[in-house]
Amino acid sequence: MDFFWYNSVMNNFKKVAVLMGGTSNEREVSLVSGHNVAEALVSLGKYEVIPVVLDADDLSALPAGVDACYITLHGGWGEDGGVQSALDARSIPYTGPGAAASRVAMDKIATKKCLDAVGVPTAPWAVATPSKPLDGSPFGYPCVVKAPRDGSSVGVYLVKTPEAFASAVADAARIDREKFGGEGEALVEAFIPGRETTVGVLGDEVLPVVEICAPGGWYGYEEKYNSNETRYPFPEDGFCPEMQRLAKAAFDATGCRGVTRVDFRVTPEGQMYVLELNTSPGMTSHSLVPKAAQKAGLSLPSLCDRVLGSAAHD
């Protein structure tokens, strides 16, 4: 695929706040993303950039008079439609999807319904609740049990035996219940063997496929944040163009905007499944979207400029 990037993106923003930090368990990563994006925007020389660290789930730290917000909050209120609704209420344009699409992407069950409806494949799935716990995995073992509205691999369990199934479901449902009330739900998925990849979608452009080669084939919390052994090559397999098409279809089906990272598993036979969408992907110097953009000839400042150019509010 060939890429053609505009040198500059037209927008009328002058004063831009970069929102970072927040209260989720991804606060520290968000601070790194935020400072990285702020520095990139400053280097363009055309914006007055204001780094804004949020310490609560509200906009009290946001100064008056900003023309747009670049959201580098990860997880929680910053990614689930919360900050998006608050900015809509103030009519301030922001990067990334609107509140409704953010809410869908943050909810793995809602995402699956949305992707099922347009024929984008996801791992076979079922929902278990404490009152309807399922009599073991419908997909055999291993299977994967997840808290459906969490991130960073907190509440994601690789379940290898029938004995471990009930307690994983109970745990995932408890995490869901403690955060969102109600009975709590657990998402049960078939385990997809094979490789893990991710694709950044930036409006109409689709970035190159990046592979995530984690030791042991599982990209959990340890592998994401505490391991130096994970490698991120750019595969050139025959499945890449179709994977890029599916990533764009997932982006469109959920109503995304800005830059979104679509994560996949691909079996040894080349069968692809979308795992999840990250509507506020990491923007640190180690993050995958900036790496993929670089590979496509798009520097971090240009990437941030394009994302900012797509900022809008509802």
Ligand X SMILES: Nc1ncnc2c1ncn2[C@@H]1O[C@H](COP(=O)(O)OP(=O)(O)O)[C@@H](O)[C@H]1O
Least spacing, CB of residue 276 vs ligand X, in Å:
5
Q: Does 220 bind ligand X (CB under 6 A)?
A: yes
Q: Is position 282 annotated as part of the catalytic site?
A: yes
Q: Does 107 bind ligand X (CB under 6 A)?
A: no
Distance CA 87, CA 314 (A): 9
Phi-psi bin for 285: left (phi > 0), alpha (psi -120 to 50), beta? alpha
Residue 175: which H helix or E strand, with range?
A: helix 162-180
Site for ligand X in 259-278 (CB under 6 A): 263, 265, 275-276
Distance CA 228, CA 277 (A): 24
> Helix (H) and strand (E) counts for the chain?
9, 12
- C-alpha distances (whole Å) from 207 to each of 11, 14, 180, 233 are 23, 28, 34, 14
**For ligand X, the closer CB: 175 or 300:** 175
Least spacing, CB of residue 146 vs ligand X, in Å:
6
Identify whether the C-beta of residue 204 lies closer than 8 Å to the C-beta of residue 247: no
Q: Is position 43 annotated as part of the catalytic site?
A: no
Q: Which of 153, 230, 294, 310 binds ligand X (CB under 6 A)?
A: 153
Binding string, residues 156-185; x marks residues near ligand X by CB under 6 A = x-----------------------------
Q: Does 151 bind ligand X (CB under 6 A)?
A: yes
Residues involved in catalysis:
26, 152, 225, 261, 263, 276, 278, 282
Contact footprint for ligand X (CB under 6 A): 123, 144, 146, 151-153, 156, 189, 191-192, 196, 218-220, 263, 265, 275-276
